[in-house]
Structure formats: structure tokens, C-alpha cells
Chains A and B, each alone.
Chain A
């Protein structure tokens, strides 16, 4: 049974208890359900509880009547019917396939990227500059990932479109380019000498691989990397991002995003406190900001262009996905605002920076998937019941049908525990195939979880 369906049935079944029972226990039970990952067992236990309470004289406000018996029978039918249907559906559908491995380096995973050419090759970056390490993995068999090679790096880390180059960060804090054409023998090409001593939080290659955008706290640098060994600075753009949260712990920069449109004419970057800056980079040497798109509260954690380049989606850290139409570049238009709801609440309702996000259109552009990762409530993590429960965060995934924008509909949602550090979220990433998902645990050496998403209903 999908966790989403189990959650819904559980809440429904709490309401199926007699009024006297609900007045006394419903709020407590809903609180427990908020913290508990509902399964078919949860649903069955609540069904038994509801039927039992309906028949219990202590909660009766009237004599046991045919009405009450009918109600108990109705609860049974409504509860068990979907379970039988779900069982049939699950048999014919892909289940989640999880794998988990330890990166095994102190500092945890701060950035990841799948190879565009081969979604089975994953690069993970641990820690930040100064002491980080990039590792190339072959995850063809997620249960037995192969450690192909490691090299000097850290977050951010990204592949070039031809998958032959990785841009990461050198110990000096500047962008570094590595030749990974042979992933078992990565070779340093060069360190890009920007001279900027702010934090490098994002890197992106243009679709033709000729431009590298390197985003720092205040500026974005556009480098011509046609000759990878000799990057040439084309232009820098004033693009300050506003730190969120009190010092000394402002927002984690690796949750921001930057990316080129599929035709390479536009660049989108997280900006300000909750905005997306859109840049015209058709002529990179004269690149200029053409629009500033408003977010829906909170810094922008992830961005994605649709494969056709007509839509730009972003997600803020509260968990609201905004989608803009780029049909008229002079006037980008908000076409959808999609809340990621768990129950009746946004996935990250607090004004804090706990959640991490990833966002991706399917390769055919017909669906958009957003995944939020959030720490499991503290009490689950409370010692001494570890180690297993102390290591989990939860991914909440949502897939929308965006084939006929502005008409957008939620196709399905799911949630799943993934490895994480105690009390922290995990860093999710969707592969170019749209179905493979990796979640890396920062702040710890709990490693990476790789799994395949279920096929959303069409």
C-alpha cells in the first residue's frame, strides 16, 4: 500500500470512531499519525479500533441499533475495499527499490550529480572546500555500487553535458575541472582562477558545454570553457543571494540552484531571499538579467527548465512549487503554484531551513516531480533506540501532470524514509531518466540511498 493512501485511510478511520471516542482521543491519535509512517498494518489496526469502538457500549450514545451495525459494516467495506484494490495494483506495479551505501567519509554528502550520458554513473561530493572529496560511483546495481575513483573536490559538483568533465571545487574554493572520460582515472584539467573569495554555491554547464556558470554569494561568473585547460572569463553578473537564518549558521548554500535552459539562451539562478533571476545569455559576453521572478516565501532550493524550455519551475524551502511560462520572455507569467502538502500542511511549514529539495521534468516534459526531504520528527531519533531509527529522514515526492499547462493536476505522491544524520534532512536528486533518485546525507557519513521511483499513474 502506498504511504499516501495509508495516511489518508488512517485519517479517515480516526473519523470513523464514535463521537465520544473522538472527543477524547482523536487529536492525540492524529498527532501520533503525524509522526508515524502509516502502512497497511496501521490501517488494519485503526479499522479494528474503529469497529471495536463502534460496538463498545462505553462509547455508545444510543442502544446498539441496526444503524450502528450498518455503520460498522460500512467502515469495514470502505477500509478493506481499497486494500484489496491496492494489493492488486501493487502486484502489477513497480515497488520502490532501495539501496543504501556509506560514502564513508566524514562530512557527509554535500552535492551529487548523475552523468547525463549514463544515469548509472553518479558523482558525490563530500564536505566543502579545503578537505572535500569527489567520488565516482557505478550504481548499475544499486545494491552493490562500485567505487570507481576519488579525487579532490567538494560541493558544488556537476557533470558537463557530454559527461566527460566534472566541475567541482578545489581546496582553494575555486571551480576545478576534472576529466572523467575514463571514470576510473579522473585527471585534473585546471582550477578556474576567478579570484572571488566568497562561497562558491553553484556551477552549471551550458547545453553545448562551452560555458561554465559559477555562482558565488554575490556574483555569477560566465567562463568560456571551449578550451577546458584555459577557461576564459566572459562576464560576471551581479547576483547576490541573501543568507537566511542567524549567523553563524546561514542557509546551506548547496540547497540553491542554477541552470541553463535546454537551448542555452537563458540562465536561471536562485537570487535574493526568495527569487529566481532569469538571465539572457545568448551572447554570454553581454549577458544581462531580463527578469526577476518572485517566489512564494523562502529561498529557492531547486530549479528546473522543461525539456522544451517553455516552462521554468522552482521550489522554495516551504515546499511551494512555482511554475512560470517563458513563452513571452519580456513577461514571464506565473502559471501554477503547487503546494507540497502532507495532510493539510506544507511539507516544511516552519520558517526554518530544514527541508531539502529536488525538482525535475520527465524527459518527455509531460510530468514534473518534486521531492522534499525532511528530518523525521526528533522523537523518532531519540536515543537510545538507535542505531536504525536515528539515521532516517523522509522523502516526500509529488508528481504533477503538466502536459496541458495552465491545467495542472497532481498525479500521485509518495513518501519514503532515507538515510540521514540524526535530526537532519537528506539531499535528494533525480537522475536524467526521471525515475532514479539518490538521497545523500550531509553532516554525517551515513552515505547515499539510491532507489527507483514507482511509475506515476498516467
Chain B
């Protein structure tokens, strides 16, 4: 299920954050950075952002829109929404298992 993300290596987390940011509408680079910082507390640097954006674009998960001067907004594609949903399902599974196991370890009912 999450094999598609595996070859993104260390860019997996920024990619997930970017897809989440674009899920509610197109944004340009700096707006993505501030949005991600706002909802996750992760301060993404420009090099990381564009490294991940270029990979996401190459995979067809985001697409660039017409640029306004130097600012180019990006939009999540249908394939991107699909992969994001898959990732969220996987993460929910991880969270569920982690909660169960930590609850056991702490002796909670």
C-alpha cells in the first residue's frame, strides 16, 4: 500500500506535509511553507520544499498552475489525493497499534 512512497526516501515526510497542505486548495511555495508550519509546527526549508515538490510533480501527484509573476501555485492531482488517502489510512493503522501497545505497556485498562 505504501510502497509508492518508499522510493522517496527521506523526502517522504515533506511530501506528505505538502500533499496535506495542498489538499484544501492550490498554494505557491512560500504559502505551503507557512501553512505546513501552521498545522504541523515543521519549519520546512526552501531546499527541502522544492526537492519534494519536484519529485511529487514528476510522479504526477501535484501539478503546477500558471504562475503569477515569480509565484507558481501547485495543485494536488487526483492521483495525489489517492496516495494521500492511502498514507493517512496507513498512519491511522500505525496510530491505532501504537495506542494499543503503549496502553498495554502503561498498564491502562
The residues of A with any CB-CB pair to B shorter than 8 Å are: 10, 13, 21, 24-25, 27-33, 35-36, 41-42, 44-50, 52-53, 58, 379-380, 382, 384-385, 389
Interface residues of A: mostly helix, strand, loop or mixed?
A: helix
Contact A36 B51 (CB under 8 A): no
Q: Which residues of B contact A48 (CB under 8 A)?
A: 47-48, 51
Q: Which residues of B contact A41 (CB under 8 A)?
A: 43, 45
B31 interface hit (Cβ, 8 Å): yes
Q: How far is the CB of B1 from chain A (nearest CB, A)?
A: 26
Other than A49-B48, A382-B34, A385-B35, give 4 A-B pairs with Cβ distance below 8 A: A42-B46, A48-B48, A58-B58, A380-B34
Q: Which residues of B contact A29 (CB under 8 A)?
A: 29, 46, 50
Q: Which residues of A contact B58 (CB under 8 A)?
A: 58
Per the bound structure, the CA–CA distance linking A379 and B35 in Å amounts to 10
Contact A49 B50 (CB under 8 A): yes
Per the bound structure, the CA–CA distance linking A345 and B29 in Å amounts to 21
Per the bound structure, the CA–CA distance linking A10 and B54 in Å amounts to 18
Give the contacts of B14-38 with A (CB-CB under 8 A).
Answer: 28-31, 33-35, 37-38
Set B31, B37, B50: member contacting A25, Cβ < 8 A? B50
Per the bound structure, the CA–CA distance linking A35 and B31 in Å amounts to 10
Contact A49 B51 (CB under 8 A): yes
Q: How many residue pairs bridge A and B at CB < 8 Å?
A: 75
Contact B45 A46 (CB under 8 A): yes
B63 interface hit (Cβ, 8 Å): no
4 nearest A-B pairs in the assembled complex, by CB-CB distance: A45-B47, A45-B45, A49-B47, A385-B38
Per the bound structure, the CA–CA distance linking A233 and B29 in Å amounts to 60
Contact B54 A21 (CB under 8 A): yes
B71 interface hit (Cβ, 8 Å): yes
Contact with A along B82-103 (1 / 0, CB 8 A): 0000000000000000000000
Contact A385 B34 (CB under 8 A): yes
Contact A384 B70 (CB under 8 A): no
Contact A46 B34 (CB under 8 A): no
B67 interface hit (Cβ, 8 Å): yes
Q: List 15 A-B contacts (CB under 8 A).
A: A13-B47, A21-B54, A25-B50, A27-B70, A28-B28, A28-B71, A31-B30, A32-B49, A45-B45, A46-B45, A46-B46, A49-B50, A49-B51, A58-B58, A385-B38
Residue of B nearest to A385 (CB): B38
Q: How far is the CB of A40 from chain B (nearest CB, A)?
A: 10
Q: How far is the CB of A41 from chain B (nearest CB, A)?
A: 5
Q: Which residues of B contact A32 (CB under 8 A)?
A: 29-30, 33, 46, 49
Set A13, A28, A53: member contacting B29, Cβ < 8 A? A28
Interface centre among A13, A49, A52 (most CB of B within 10 A): A49
Residue of B nearest to A13 (CB): B47
Q: How far is the CB of B46 from chain A (nearest CB, A)?
A: 5
Per the bound structure, the CA–CA distance linking A27 and B67 in Å amounts to 10
Contact B46 A45 (CB under 8 A): yes
Contact A42 B71 (CB under 8 A): no
Q: How far is the CB of A31 from chain B (nearest CB, A)?
A: 4
Contact A384 B34 (CB under 8 A): no
Contact B29 A31 (CB under 8 A): yes
Per the bound structure, the CA–CA distance linking A89 and B53 in Å amounts to 35
Set A10, A33, A45: member contacting B48, Cβ < 8 A? A45
Contact B72 A28 (CB under 8 A): yes
Q: How far is the CB of B89 from chain A (nearest CB, A)?
A: 28
Per the bound structure, the CA–CA distance linking A31 and B29 in Å amounts to 9
Q: How far is the CB of A211 from chain B (nearest CB, A)?
A: 51
